[in-house]
Amino acid sequence: MEHTKLQCLCLLICSLIVLNGKTVLGGNQTSNENLGMVDITILESAVSKGAVCLDGSPPAFYYDKGHGEGANNWIIYFRGGEWCYNVLDCLNRTKTEKGSSKLAPKQRSFYGILGNNKTENPDFYNWNRVMVIYCDGSSFTGDVEIVDPVTNLHFRGARVFHALIEHFLVIGMKDAKNAILSGGSAGGLPALLHCDRFRALLPNSARVKCLADGSYFLHKKNMKEIPFMDIVNEGLITLHHSAKMLPSSCTSKMRPSLCLFPQYFQQEIQTPFFIVNSMFDTFQINKTFPGYYEDLNNNTCSATLVKTLQDFKQEFLSALPKQSNCSSSRGMFIDSCLIHSQILSGVGWNGFTVHNKTIAEAFSNWYFDLSPVQLIDTPDMPLNCYKFPSITSFCT
Is 39 in the active site? no
Q: How far apart are CA 113 and CA 124, in angstroms?
A: 7
> Which of 65, 81, 97 minimizes the C-alpha distance to 183?
81
Q: How far apart are CA 133 and CA 115, in angstroms?
A: 17
> Which of 189, 181, 195 minimizes the C-alpha distance to 215?
189
> Which pairs count as long-range contacts for 55-58, CB under 8 Å and 24+ apart, including other chains?
55/94, 55/99, 55/100, 55/102, 55/135, 55/152, 55/153, 55/154, 56/147, 56/152, 56/154, 57/100, 57/101, 57/102, 57/135, 58/101
User: Is there a contact between 210 and 106 (Cβ–Cβ < 8 Å)?
Assistant: no
Marked catalytic residue, from 185, 215, 278, 345: 185
Q: How far apart are CA 379 and CA 309, in angstroms?
A: 11
User: Is there a contact between 279 and 335 (Cβ–Cβ < 8 Å)?
Assistant: yes
Is 167 in the active site? no
Q: Cβ atoms within 10 A of the Cβ of 173, count?
A: 23
Q: How far apart are CA 339 and CA 279, in angstroms?
A: 9
Pairing of strands 73-78, 178-184: parallel
Marked catalytic residue, from 230, 281, 335, 377: 281
Is 213 in the active site? no
Cis peptide before 389 (omega within 30 of 0): yes
Q: How far apart are CA 7 and CA 4, in angstroms?
A: 7
Marked catalytic residue, from 101, 215, 340, 341: 340
User: Is there a contact between 307 and 292 (Cβ–Cβ < 8 Å)?
Assistant: no
* Half-sphere exposure (Cβ direction) of 115: Cα atoms closer than 13 Å: 23
Cβ within 8 Å of residue 107, ≥6 positions away: 30, 37, 38, 39, 40, 62
- Looking at the annotation, which residues are catalytic? 185, 281, 340
